[in-house]
Amino acid sequence: MSERKKITTPLTQETVAGLKTGDGVMISGQIYTARDAAHKRLVDLINEGKELPFDLEGSVIYYVGPAPAPPGYPIGSAGPTTSYRMDPYAPLLIEHGMRGMIGKGQRGPEVLEAMHKHGAVYFAAAGGAAALIARSIKKAEVIAYPELGAEAIRLLEVEDFPCIVANDIHGGNLFVEGPAKYAEA
């Protein structure tokens, strides 16, 4: 496996353009957590012309509902959730500046089109590696919708958060290319 690319948030168009499907990356900086209920609220705020709880420009949203933090740790297990549940909301968030999403599973055609049009990337995180992923999270703070519990929006400080580029802005799709390469072997 090739060396992982180290990238820092917020993501720029240049960073996103330099990523290719299959690239291993280590993300450092700030990322946000949000799942479907929080996504709906964000989209509603955009549609109502209201201010969001964080700046979408260059942001990365991790689809996770982390476990409670054990004593001495900033967060509990933090494995990715299935991404397609955010597909109804992701295109509008991408249009308003979100540059990265982290989750598991394939994305729908509307999300892929928005990624290509506006410059965003989808990273796959390893399902089943929640405790390992949590080690990359150095700080976690609820910044919006605490009443959603585990699904509240959190600001995470991450260092070398491991993931793989699953969909890039060039039309690459790991969920298509990966099985095709395997079939050739």
Read off the pTM.
0.93
What Å distances lie between residue 71 and 43, 68, 74, 140, CA to CA? Answer: 35, 9, 8, 13
- Structural domain contains residue 148: yes
Provide the pLDDT for residue 1: 47
Q: Which tens digits make up the pLDDT trace of 46-63?
A: 999 999 999 999 999 999
Other Cβ atoms less than 10 A from the Cβ of 132: the count is 14
In a domain, 19, yes or no: no
Q: Is residue 44 part of a domain?
A: yes
pLDDT at 170: 93
Catalytic residue among 39, 96, 116, 170: 39
Q: For residue 185, what pLDDT is reported? A: 62
In this predicted structure, what is the pLDDT of residue 94? Answer: 98
Low-confidence ranges of the chain (pLDDT < 70): 1-2, 128, 179-185
The question of whether 96 is a catalytic residue gets the answer: no
DSSP 155: E
Domain count across the chain: 1
* Domain CATH for 78: 3.20.130.10
Range of the structural domain that residue 127 is part of: 5-10+24-184
